[in-house]
C-alpha cells in the first residue's frame, strides 16, 4: 500500500514524512488555500528530499501548476499538460459522481484520486465520503490505480483500506496539528497503521 502525505509546507515536515516511510508528498499550488506554497518553497523541499520519493504538485489545473518542480501533477480540471504524469481528482458526492470517475479513467492519466466533495474546498477539508462508492468506482477505472483521499485519519485508515483496497491512500488534514503543519505523532500513527495491514 502506497502512502501520500499531502499539504506539505516546509522542509521539516517533508523530511519527517520521508523518514517515517511515505512514498509520495503533495504540495499545494492553489493560491488562497491554507496549505499553499510557492514554487520557490517547493524547490527547497524537493532539494532536501531523499531519492525515490515522489513529489506531487496539487493544483486546480495545469496552468496553476506551471513553474512548480514535481514528479506528478494532481489536477482537478482542465486539459492535462503534455509529456507529464498526471493524477485526475474526482470529488465524490453521490452515485452520480461515478460518471466523472469513468470520464477521468478515459483520460491519459497515471491514476484517479477520489476525494470527498466539499462546497468550499477543493480538498484537505477532512471530510470522508461513502467508501462503498470507491469500491464501485474500481470497476470503472480500466485497471488504472485508485488513490483514496478524504477524511482519512489514523483511527479510520484500517477500515478504509479493508473496504476499498486502493492502490494508495492520501492524507492531509488527518495528520495535522494545524492547517499546513503536520503533527509528528499523528503522522507516525497513520503510517504505522497502514504498514500494519500489509
Task: Tell me the catalytic residues.
Answer: 6, 115
Q: What is the dihedral of CA 34, 38, 44, 47, to 10 degrees?
A: 100
Per-position b or e across 2-34, b if 16+ CB within 10 A of its CB? bbbbbbbbbeebbbbbbebebbbbbbbbbeebb
- Cell 452515485 sits on residue: 95
Bridge partners for 115 per DSSP = 91
Residue 126, Cα to own-chain centre: how many angstroms? Answer: 12
Phi, psi (5° rounding) for residue 179? -50, 120
State the cell numbers at 192: 504505522
Angle at 196 (CA atoms; ends 195, 198), nearest 5 degrees: 70
Per-position b or e across 52-81, b if 16+ CB within 10 A of its CB? ebbbbbbbbbbebbeebebebbbbbeeebe
Amino acid at each position: 500500500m502506497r502512502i501520500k502525505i499531502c499539504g506539505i509546507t516546509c522542509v521539516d515536515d517533508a523530511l519527517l514524512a520521508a523518514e517515517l516511510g511515505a512514498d509520495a508528498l503533495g504540495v499545494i499550488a492553489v493560491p488562497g488555500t491554507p496549505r499553499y506554497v510557492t514554487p520557490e518553497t517547493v524547490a527547497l523541499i524537493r532539494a532536501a528530499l531523499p531519492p525515490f520519493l515522489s513529489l506531487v504538485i496539487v493544483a486546480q489545473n495545469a496552468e496553476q501548476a506551471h513553474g512548480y518542480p514535481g514528479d506528478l501533477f494532481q489536477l482537478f480540471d482542465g486539459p492535462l499538460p503534455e509529456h507529464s504524469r498526471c493524477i485526475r481528482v474526482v470529488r465524490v458526492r453521490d452515485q452520480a459522481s461515478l460518471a466523472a470517475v469513468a470520464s477521468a479513467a478515459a483520460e491519459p492519466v497515471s491514476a484517479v484520486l477520489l476525494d470527498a466533495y466539499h462546497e468550499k474546498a477543493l480538498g484537505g477539508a477532512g471530510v470522508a465520503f461513502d467508501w462503498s462508492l470507491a469500491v464501485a468506482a474500481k470497476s470503472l477505472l480500466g485497471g488504472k490505480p485508485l488513490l483514496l483521499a478524504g477524511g482519512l485519519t489514523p483511527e479510520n485508515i484500517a477500515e478504509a483500506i479493508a473496504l476499498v483496497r486502493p492502490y494508495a491512500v492520501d492524507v492531509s488534514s488527518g495528520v495535522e496539528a494545524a492547517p499546513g503543519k503536520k503533527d509528528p505523532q499523528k503522522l507516525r500513527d497513520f503510517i504505522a497503521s497502514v504498514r500494519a495491514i500489509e
